[in-house]
Structure 1
Amino acid sequence: MRIAVAFDCLFPWSKGGGERLYRTYAEDFAAAGHEVTYLTRRQWDGEPPVIDGLRVEVISEDRELYDGNGVRQLGPALRFGRGLFGHLRRNRKAYDAVLVSATPATNVLAARAALAGSRVVVAVDWLEVWRAGQWREYSGPLVGRAANLLQGLAIRLSPIATCPSQFSAQRLRERGVRAEPVISPGLIDMDGATEPTLSVPAPPRVIFIGRHIPDKRIESLPAAIAHAHTHVPDLTATIFGEGPTSAAVQAEIDRLGLGDVITMPGFVSQDELDEGIRTAACLVNPSAREGYGLVVVESCAAGTPVVLVAGEDNASVELVEDGVNGKVAASTAPAELGAAIIDVVTAGEPLRKTTHRWFTEASRTRTVHAAARQIAERLAEAAEQRSVTALR
Structure 2
Amino acid sequence: MALRILLLNWRDMDHPEAGGAEKYLVTVAEGLAARGHEVIFRTAAYPGAVQEEVVRGVRYIRKGGRLGIYPRALAANLLRRYDADVVVDVQNGMPFLSPLTRHRPVVNLVHHVHKEQWPVVFGPRLSRAGWWLESRLAPIVYRNTDYVAVSDSTRAELSGLGVDANRIQVIHNGTDATPLDAEPRSNQPSMIVLGRLVPQKRIEFALEALAQLVGEMPTLTLDVVGSGWWESHLLERVAELGIDQHVTFHGHVSEAEKHQLLARAWVHALPSLKEGWGLVVVEAGIHGTPTVAFSEAGGPTNSIVHGRTGLLVDHGSEAFTQAVRSLLVDDDLRDRMSGEVTTWVSQFHWDETVAKWEQALLRSAGSR
TM norm. shorter chain > 0.5: yes
- Residue 127 of structure 2 aligns with which residue? 144
Give distance in 2, aligned partners of 1:217 and 1:383: 40
Instruction: Assess, with a 3 A threshold, how the Cα gap between structure 1 residues 379 and 267 changes in structure 2: closer, same or farther.
Output: closer
Q: Superposition RMSD on alpha carbons, in Å?
A: 2.5
Tell me the residue number matched to 1:22.
25
Match of 1:48 in 2: 52
Q: What is the distance in 1 between the residues matched to 2:42 and 2:195?
A: 25
Q: 1:203 to 1:353 in 2, by over 3 A?
A: same
**Structure 2 equivalent of residue 324 of structure 1:** 308
Q: 2:233 aligns with which of 248, 261, 264?
A: 248
Equivalent-residue separation in structure 2 for 1:198 and 1:323 (angstroms): 26
Amino acid at match of 2:30: E
1:214 corresponds to which of 199, 218, 221: 199
Superposed displacement of residue 194, structure 1: 4.6
- Tell whether the 8 Å contact from 2:45 to 2:51 is kept in structure 1 after alignment: no
Alignment deviations for residues 215-261 of structure 1 (CA, whole Å, 9 cap, x no partner): 12222323311222233332222222343433333333223322222
- The aligned counterpart of 2:152 is 166
Distance apart, 1:181 and its partner CA: 4.3
Q: Equivalents in 1 of 2:333, 2:251: separation in Å?
A: 31
Residue 79 of structure 2 is aligned to residue 95 of structure 1 = no
Give yes or no for the alignment of 1:347 onto 2:351: no
1:390 equivalent in structure 2: none
SS at match of 2:192: strand
TM-score (norm 1): 0.83
d(CA) in 2 for partners of 1:30, 1:265: 33
Secondary structure of the residue aligned to 1:36 is: strand
Using structure 2 for the length normalisation, give the TM-score. 0.88
Cα distance between partner residues in 2 of 1:32 and 1:352: 40
Whole-angstrom CA distance in 2 between matches of 1:138 and 1:220: 17
SS of 1:201 mapped into structure 2: coil
In structure 1, list runs of 5 or more residues that go unmatched.
63-75, 387-392
Residue 6 of structure 2: which of 1, 4, 7 is its match?
4
Question: Which residue of 94, 100, 114 maps to 1:105?
Answer: 94
Matches within 5 A, 1:1-392: 1-14=3-16, 15-43=18-46, 44-58=48-62, 60-62=63-65, 76-77=66-67, 79-91=68-80, 94-107=83-96, 109=97, 111-114=98-101, 116=102, 118=103, 120-131=104-115, 134-151=117-134, 152-158=136-142, 159-178=145-164, 180-189=166-175, 191-195=176-180, 200-311=185-296, 313-333=297-317, 335-348=318-331, 351-352=334-335, 354-364=337-347, 366-386=348-368
What is aligned with 1:66? none
The answer to whether the 8 A contact 1:198-1:349 is kept is: no
Q: How many residues align?
A: 361
SS of 1:342 mapped into structure 2: helix
Q: What amino acid is aligned across from residue 217 of structure 1 in structure 2?
A: R
For 1:176 and 1:378, how far apart are their aligned partners in 2? 21
Residue type at the aligned position of 2:112: E
CA displacement at 1:353 relative to structure 2 = 5.5
- Closer/same/farther in 2, CA of residues 253 and 384 from structure 1, 3 Å limit: closer
- Residue 350 (structure 1) shift: 6.1
Q: Aligned-pair distance for 1:45?
A: 4.5
Partner AA of 1:97 in structure 2? V
- Conserved? CA contact 2:191–2:267, under 8 Å: yes
Is the Cα–Cα contact under 8 Å of residues 165 and 183 in structure 1 kept in the other structure?
Answer: no
| Alpha-carbon distance between aligned partners in 2 of 1:215 and 1:13, rounded to the nearest angstrom | 18
Letter in 1 for 2:287: A
Deviations along 1:264-296, one digit per CA (max 9) or x if unpaired, are 233333332221111111111211121221111
SS at match of 2:222: strand
Distance in structure 2 (CA, Å) of the matches to 1:186 and 1:332: 28
Q: Is the CA contact (8 Å cut-off) linking 1:324 and 1:351 kept in structure 2?
A: no
Q: Is the 8 A contact 1:323 1:351 kept in 2?
A: no
User: 2:338 & 2:13 partners in 1: Cα distance?
Assistant: 28
Counterparts of 2:342 and 2:140, CA distance in 1:
35
Describe the shift of the 1:3–1:139 C-alpha distance in structure 2 as closer, same or farther (beyond 3 A): same
Task: Detail structure 1 runs of 4+ shifted over 4 Å in the superposition.
Answer: 196-200
**Counterpart residue type for residue 112 of structure 1:** P
Instruction: Give CA deviations for 1:149-181 in whole Å, capped at 9, x if unaligned.
Output: 211321333310111111111111111114524
Distance 1:230 1:27, change over 3 A: same
Provide the secondary structure at the position in 2 that maps to 1:106: coil
The answer (yes or no) to whether the contact 2:153–2:301 under 8 Å persists in 1 is no
Letter in 1 for 2:305: E
Q: Deviation at 1:94?
A: 2.0
> CA 1:130–1:345 in 2, change beyond 3 Å: closer, same or farther?
same
CA distance in 2, matches of 1:181, 1:355: 36
